[in-house]
Structure 1
Amino acid sequence: MTSTELPEKLAEIRDDFLALEEQDRLLLLLEFADALPALPKRYEEHPDLLERVVECQSPVFMFVEVEDDAVHLYATAPRESPTTRGFASILAQGLSGLSRAEVLLVPDDYPSSIGLTKAVSPLRIRGMTAMLARTKRRLREDPA
């Protein structure tokens, strides 16, 4: 994978958004919000293990772990914040299962590439960009 290529799942998500009219992209984002994977019990019972993404307007917490070089991103966001929740879901679903190297190669501007820059505020896009950056930082900090 070159630095300009996307992993298959992220490319598929991007292409699904770009295939829609702008107003329908928000509906797809809401579908992602509803599909945010539940936290594993070990994080539900220990929310202190999750890291707050302070760049997000809504309270978003996440944790990145690597098992057998497969990345898993877990996130939680309130149901009252469907945009933020949708962005967390896109990343959780799109990054999970990728190798550490694949995640580190995801372009930092991926959140801007899915066609939502006119439909949601720049602040919300920055929140998703921060979630991706935080994920990459975690992977670099813990190379084990």
Structure 2
Amino acid sequence: MINSPFPLEPTPAEAQATIAEEFSFFGDWSERYQYLIDLGRKLPTFPEEWKSEEHRLLGCQSMVWIVPEGNADKLIFHAISDSAIVSGLIYLALRVYSGRSAADILATEPDYVSAIGLAKHLSPTRSNGLAAMLAFIRDTAKAQQQ
């Protein structure tokens, strides 16, 4: 069985609640951005051979590569970016969705995005990239359910 490298709260909703709680400790967005950068540094090592066009996520201004593995029972996502802040966004998304079943992924809206204020504080290009990553995760889960 594949193991997720992220803290795996029992449910995606609990993961989102934990993320919201962690971000509530920071008073301003400069501190929150620094925390995002720190989280991005915690991403597991990403093999160089995966940094290919095949695994590149389109729709992001930064370079982002994402590789799914598993099946409908459990999907693990590996991802990395050349941007520190985007790597933090990846960490949060994978914390909520990686290691979950396709059904759990599809049943979970990314509420953490608005709960921590990301929707208001990301540039349009970063917002588009985050949307592209979340869509890729959902599309992968849909494909596994077929």
Distance in 1 between residues matched to 2:45 and 2:61, nearest whole Å: 21
Q: What displacement does 1:122 show? A: 2.7
Pick closer, same or farther for the CA change 1:115–1:140 going to 2, 3 Å. same
Distance in 2 between residues matched to 1:107 and 1:68, nearest whole Å: 18
Q: What displacement does 1:108 show? A: 4.7
Distance in 2 between residues matched to 1:110 and 1:51, nearest whole Å: 25
CA root-mean-square deviation: 2.5
Segments of 5+ residues of structure 2 without an aligned counterpart are: 1-10
* Alignment correspondent of 1:64: 68
Number of aligned residue pairs: give it. Answer: 135
* Alignment correspondent of 2:45: 38
Residue 17 (structure 1) aligned with residue 19 (structure 2): no
* Alignment correspondent of 1:92: 94
State whether residues 10 and 94 of structure 1, in contact with CA within 8 Å, keep that contact through their aligned partners in structure 2.
Answer: yes
Q: What displacement does 1:62 show? A: 0.4
Question: TM-score, normalising length from structure 1?
Answer: 0.77
Pick closer, same or farther for the CA change 1:68–1:122 going to 2, 3 Å. closer
Question: TM-score, normalising length from structure 2?
Answer: 0.77
Report the 3-state secondary structure (helix = DSSP H, G, I; strand = E; otherwise coil) of the residue aligned with 1:142. helix
Residue 8 of structure 1, aligned match among 11, 14, 18: 14
Report the 3-state secondary structure (helix = DSSP H, G, I; strand = E; otherwise coil) of the residue aligned with 2:145. coil
* Alignment correspondent of 2:121: 119
Report the 3-state secondary structure (helix = DSSP H, G, I; strand = E; otherwise coil) of the residue aligned with 2:79. strand
Q: What displacement does 1:46 show? A: 4.5
State whether residues 72 and 102 of structure 2, in contact with CA within 8 Å, keep that contact through their aligned partners in structure 1.
Answer: no
Report the 3-state secondary structure (helix = DSSP H, G, I; strand = E; otherwise coil) of the residue aligned with 1:16. helix
Segments of 5+ residues of structure 1 without an aligned counterpart are: none
